[in-house]
Amino acid sequence: MIKTRIKKNDNVVVITGVERGHSGKVLQVDRKKGRVVVEGINKKKKFVRPSQENPKGGIINLEYPIQLSNVQYFCDKCKMGVRIGIQLKNDSKVRVCKKCGKSFDN
């Protein structure tokens, strides 16, 4: 299990590799493997057999998982990838931007 504060539907930015600087929404987090699927990132063509959803089959563009360590939470106040901090607010933990202190969970 990998410790991460990134959750599904977060907006993240890629910080390394060919797609560095690209951002997108988290579609899936795999803590066991330490991987994350981000909308529009690491798209590859995949050949699919005909199925109920896709009766013709053929080639689709699908997002493939990337390493969790290759993404950072995108703070829309800082306009960049940031580290996530934890703050106590009304007895519950909220995720905040380590740079500007903006809360990511209301």
Shortest approach of Zn ion to residue 100 CB, angstroms? Answer: 3
The angle at the Cα of 33, spanning 29 to 12, to the nearest 5 degrees, equals 35
Shortest approach of Zn ion to residue 13 CB, angstroms? Answer: 12
User: Which CB sits closer to Zn ion, 33 or 89?
Assistant: 89
User: Which CB sits closer to Zn ion, 34 or 85?
Assistant: 85
User: Which CB sits closer to Zn ion, 2 or 84?
Assistant: 84
Shortest approach of Zn ion to residue 90 CB, angstroms? Answer: 21
Binding site for Zn ion (CB under 5 A): 75, 77-78, 97, 99-100, 102
Distance CA 31, CA 35 (A): 7
